Chains A and B, each alone.
Chain A
């Protein structure tokens, strides 16, 4: 099946700094790439998504970039806050949804 690789697996930043999480995928084509945030013991929550007809999308402190040629997409969080601490998952719809293995983000006050 499709493989979505996500890096890094853990990320620790100081409050106010930026955080970047990257995902790559292999051969299949997807036109839709969502990002989910999952706090401990809670459901994954959709935080932002991007479709293949755009290269970048921004929503307040969160942005996603997509490079279809290179087959990678990234999540950017600026001015991080302690409440951003969670596990973040990227995903792609390759006729079926495939998720990355997750990035545990720790924002230190």
Chain B
């Protein structure tokens, strides 16, 4: 039974560039949430996808966008990267109401 997977594991970009991060949910899960975790802080909710639509959104600018595919996998896109976007990006999957969430290993993004 595969757990939540994310790719890539690490990424280095420069300011102004765009990045796409990917997440495959745990088998049987249909909901994907994305979080940003800065060093030494707790995860911050970016948005959640269910049935290929954004169901909830946190306090992140429109530069952060996402997508969910029919197989429930998801992408997080960040445009016009800023130095402050450097963080660990976590995705979490769940079923239905999205409460019991399981995290992937994360993608560590460094913006130079």
Which A residues have a C-beta under 8 Å from some C-beta of B?
Answer: 1, 6, 32, 34, 36, 42-46, 49, 89, 91, 93, 95-102
Contact = CB atoms under 8 A, between A and B. Distances in A.
Interface in B42-90: 42-45, 48, 56-59, 90
Interface residues of B, number: 23
B24 interface: no
Nearest to B46: A96
Contacts of A45: 103
B22 to A, nearest CB: 15
A95 B99 CA distance: 10
A91 B99 CA distance: 11
A35 to B, nearest CB: 12
Contacts of B100: 34, 46, 49
A42 B4 CA distance: 13
A102 B103 CA distance: 16
A43 B99 contact: no
B79 to A, nearest CB: 22
Contacts of B58: 1, 96
B68 to A, nearest CB: 17
B50 to A, nearest CB: 13
A42 B6 CA distance: 13
A89 B59 contact: no
Contact of B45 (A6, A36, A97): A97
B101 interface: yes
Nearest to B43: A99
A31 to B, nearest CB: 8
A101 to B, nearest CB: 5
A46 B105 CA distance: 13
A102 B41 contact: yes
